[in-house]
Amino acid sequence: IEESFPFDWMYPHLEPHGLIFKINRQPLPGLSDEIVEQDHDYWRRLVRPMIGDWLTDDTAVGEIAAFAKKTFGKQDFSGFTGDPRFIQNAYSHRMFSKLRSSIAGLYAWRLKQATDASEKERMAREADFAFRQAWALCPYSPEAVFRYVNFLLAQDRGADALLVAETAAQMPSMQGKDGEQIRALVEQLKKFQKAKQPSSDGK
């Protein structure tokens, strides 16, 4: 099944299966290490010829933001090891980003359901990796941006969430009316960050 809109009832039955999902007749108690590793490796191999092999488990949000601004924003391909034709094909950006974002959403759902600390950490790690790939594949995708921002806020990573939104808002296709939602998100996140900062009198 390819996810169009996420349905909570479906999540217990889903497992990553290449680009899309396998839907099982019975709910799964969890996602095995084998399933997660296969998905992780599959998407590493798939993404490599598109944008290069630089995005790893340890790649910071700031590195992806810099890549987005240089490659998608300025169309500067110096040092780029991916396929410039992919960067110049908006349909491909959106399609592959949506597919990866959908899988990230499954990991994020499993994270919320987990009660064991190690399972929470495992699902958080995979969700973050999948969301970072989805965002790198299409830095201006509202779906990838909003879902990743929500995930980051739940992880108490407000600064990273703001960086994701600000970077998306700077993309060329987001300068007109299409970018209104993203620009509004940036302002909301700035207010949220400001409200969290202690006042000058320490209160």
Q: Are 162 and 188 in contact (CB under 8 A)?
A: no
Measuring CA to CA, which residue among 36, 48, 56, 35 is closest to residue 132?
56
pTM: 0.93
**Identity of the amino acid at 111:** L
**Rounded Cα distance, 99 and 133, in Å:** 10
Q: How confident is the model at residue 74 (pLDDT cuts 50, 70, 90)?
A: very high
pLDDT in tens, 120-149: 999 999 999 999 999 999 999 999 999 999
Retrieve residue 126's tokens: 């995979």
Task: Indicate whether 201 pLDDT > 70.
Answer: no
Q: Are 95 and 138 in contact (CB under 8 A)?
A: no
Measuring CA to CA, which residue among 132, 64, 146, 139 is closest to residue 104?
132
Q: How confident is the model at residue 106 (pLDDT cuts 50, 70, 90)?
A: very high
Q: Which CA distances in Å does 189 have to 128, 135, 177?
A: 19, 18, 20
Q: How confident is the model at residue 199 (pLDDT cuts 50, 70, 90)?
A: low
Residue 93 phi/psi, 5° resolution? -50, -55
Q: How far is CA 31 from the centre of its chain?
A: 19
Q: How confident is the model at residue 5 (pLDDT cuts 50, 70, 90)?
A: confident
pLDDT in tens, 146-177: 999 999 999 999 999 999 999 999 999 888 88
pLDDT in tens, 16-43: 999 999 999 999 999 999 999 999 999 9
DSSP 17: E
